[in-house]
Chains A and B, each alone.
Chain A
Amino acid sequence: MSRNGMVDVLIIGSGASGAAVAWSLAETRMRILCLEQGDWMKHADFPSNGHDWEARRYGDFDISPNRRARATDYPINDDASPMKIANFNGVGGGTIFYTAHFPRMHPSDFRVRSLDGVADDWPVDYWTLEPFFAENDRMMGVSGLAGDPGVPSRNPPMPPIPLGKTGMIYARAMNRLGWHWWPSDTTVATTEYDGRAACINVGHCTPGCAQGAKASTDITYWPRALRAGVELRTRCRVREITTNEHGMASGAVYYDADGMERFQPAEVVILACNGIGTPRLLLNSASARFPNGLANSSGLVGRNLMLHPWPQVTGYVEDKVDGSRGPMTCMWSKEFYETDPSRGFVRGYTLQFARGTGPVNEAVTSVAAGRLPWGMDHHRVYRQLLDHRLQIGIACEDLPEEHNGVTLDPVLKDDHGIPAPRIDYTISENTRRMMEHGIARAEQILTEAGASNLYASRTVLNSPGHLLGTARMGNDPERSVVNAWGRCHDVKNLFIVDGSIWVTSGGVNPTSTIQALALYVADSMKQRLATLFD
């Protein structure tokens, strides 16, 4: 096996959190290397450049790694989960393949035990993270509108994305119901921003923005980190973290672009592979000293997986609306976010208001839902659907449960022979009650908006791709994997900065909070450089 030169910091994964931590640590002038199993993405290759823009969502830009099956992907056995796993492997990771919806967790999300008597409080709170949220907003470039009574004060650096025809229909309905709504925070640039062009309403934002208006870390954090001296190597798939005779991480074994096995020694290792990749790597790093997987004396590596069940309710109005034109999600509602015991469940959800969809997806989803027939009546019905769609997503918080988790599949392996992850996941009764409550409210809104032909999808296939909780943070080494600033209790030079360290999941898209946490961990490391391993 070839051995590379020593680095001070080895980061594994270049997505939302890996990029943020790399950029933040760069100012230390340490030798920092990031290994990424995917490629740099070319914006000219994104689907919206071609006539087959919608079809490619079912092919090389499918959100499921199992179906996408690029050489840079690894398989995931999710047969034992009603929610299928979505991710993306490449420089930028999941930020290449996300809707760019960018809410923050709420203050109450960090205090669920104290406030609502469920799960556990986080060892950090919103107010500790607040400056890192703001820094991340500047780095990613967030569009939004200050003054929202639904969330703590923040000042997005760009104006919000347009309401459009669709947004105004929702807004009027919400005002008639007396319910909260607000234009969403997104990482879609609405003005030129830090070298990024402004959004031109291409739509189809999720599988990569050809305009470059959507923030992904390959165009936000990484150019700055590289200029500051961080090295990023692509097509490097890490097999395991190695440890030395002192029980400290000594580096990583990986396969390079030519398939050669290499050893990368490092003084500090940081995992940024998110809620499935990180526990997979820790479990694959079992040794005589760590027989149950690295950093797993608590037995919690891989447990408490949270995936955010995400029902979607669709309806159709008589007037033509925005369809697939413009960023998909235009508004949120926090009306049902905070706990209200009278609802029959604890915690809550965000309502997300979406525009429509493209001609192919309208047809495919409508056939699947049974509202679009085959045969002679196909054309008449289709014309009542395309560009008439309203759709509300319900971002439900699911609470941590130890039986939901990631283990190593005994049979399935990736192209390098590395055991693949297996997912076992069920939706809890509390979450199911929350989902039904949200579906009923969404139907009420759509009806108020004049929509008919309502249809609720309870678990949308391969959505939303939020992978959280499988190496949770906490102060008690018996009940957590990492401490309050991301360092593994068992291995004091091993850090985790991705969604796996979440204690609970909140009812929001996680990228903003994942990155704020990564910046917070990096800052904590910088504050303690002289005593980092004490």
Chain B
Amino acid sequence: MSEAALSSAESQSLHRIAGMMIPASAEYDIPGADDRLIFADIVGSFGRDLGDVRTALAALSTLAGGSFADLDEARAASLLEQFLASGSTSTSVLGRVILQCYYRDDRVLRSLGLESRPPFPKGHTLEQGDWSLLDAVRARPKLWRDDRKVLR
């Protein structure tokens, strides 16, 4: 799905929302969701979510009485909080669309101590653990009911 799927006004509103929902952080040295690369990933990844995203943006635009992108900071923050509190399906989808692109960005993953790669083919290492922890369980009598004895 290309960015053209959203109008310019919708795209501007989404860009502002993304940056407010997940802002950049100097403390963690990470971009916000309005970062150029991440935002391009978001608008390129709507797929079957496009309808819900547009519904969410339309609802926010109605709340704003016009373009959300043009609101002053205080008003935008207040409206976004109200919008997110609505708990609608389209709001949840909008949030997920942003999150699923943000948390696959190389820079974000590195800041979390994760390798930026698919799980396959490298996989991961998992320690066996201490199987002697089972000793206490092994000593227990059986827990299951044997119908052959109970119903004899």
Whether A533 is near chain B, meaning CB under 8 Å from some CB there, is no
Which chain B residues have a beta carbon within 8 Å of chain A's beta carbons? Answer: 20-23, 25, 27-28, 30, 45, 47-49, 80, 84, 92, 95-96, 99-104, 109, 112, 114, 116-131, 133-134, 136-138, 140-148, 150-151
The reply to whether A58 and B96 contact each other, CB–CB distance below 8 Å, is yes
- The binding surface of chain A is classed by DSSP as loop
Which chain A residues have a beta carbon within 8 Å of chain B's beta carbons? Answer: 46, 48-55, 58-59, 67, 69, 106-108, 110-111, 114-115, 125-127, 145, 147, 149-152, 162-165, 167-168, 171-172, 175, 180-183, 199-204, 210-211, 322, 324-326, 334-335, 337-338, 359-360, 362-364, 367-368, 374-376, 378-379, 383, 386
Please name all residues of chain A whose beta carbon is closer than 8 Å to the beta carbon of B126 when the two chains form the complex.
162, 164, 201, 322, 325-326
Question: Could you list 10 examples of A-B contacts with CB < 8 Å?
Answer: A51-B104, A59-B48, A107-B146, A162-B129, A171-B134, A210-B119, A364-B99, A367-B95, A374-B22, A383-B28
Closest A residue, CB atoms, query B130? A168
Query: Contact check: which of B114, B122, B127, B137 meets A149 at CB < 8 Å?
Result: B137
Please name all residues of chain A whose beta carbon is closer than 8 Å to the beta carbon of B96 when the two chains form the complex.
58, 364
Please name all residues of chain A whose beta carbon is closer than 8 Å to the beta carbon of B130 when the two chains form the complex.
163, 168, 171
Q: How far is the CB of A77 from chain B (nearest CB, A)?
A: 17
The reply to whether B104 and A172 contact each other, CB–CB distance below 8 Å, is no
The reply to whether B138 and A147 contact each other, CB–CB distance below 8 Å, is yes
Q: How far is the CB of B39 from chain A (nearest CB, A)?
A: 16
Q: How far is the CB of B70 from chain A (nearest CB, A)?
A: 20
Q: How far is the CB of B83 from chain A (nearest CB, A)?
A: 11
The 9 closest A-B pairs by CB, nearest first: A163-B129, A200-B123, A325-B124, A210-B120, A359-B103, A55-B100, A326-B126, A201-B124, A171-B133
The reply to whether B133 and A203 contact each other, CB–CB distance below 8 Å, is no
Please name all residues of chain A whose beta carbon is closer than 8 Å to the beta carbon of B140 when the two chains form the complex.
149, 180
Please name all residues of chain A whose beta carbon is closer than 8 Å to the beta carbon of B127 when the two chains form the complex.
162-165
Q: How far is the CB of B127 from chain A (nearest CB, A)?
A: 6
Q: When chains A and B are docked, how far (Å) is the Cα of A223 from the Cα of B100?
A: 37
The reply to whether B123 and A338 contact each other, CB–CB distance below 8 Å, is no
Please name all residues of chain B whose beta carbon is closer than 8 Å to the beta carbon of A368 when the two chains form the complex.
92
The reply to whether B125 and A201 contact each other, CB–CB distance below 8 Å, is yes
Please name all residues of chain B whose beta carbon is closer than 8 Å to the beta carbon of A115 when the two chains form the complex.
145, 147, 150-151
Query: Contact check: which of A126, A210, A359 meets B109 at CB < 8 Å?
Result: A359
The reply to whether A338 and B147 contact each other, CB–CB distance below 8 Å, is no
Q: How far is the CB of B50 from chain A (nearest CB, A)?
A: 12
The reply to whether A151 and B92 contact each other, CB–CB distance below 8 Å, is no
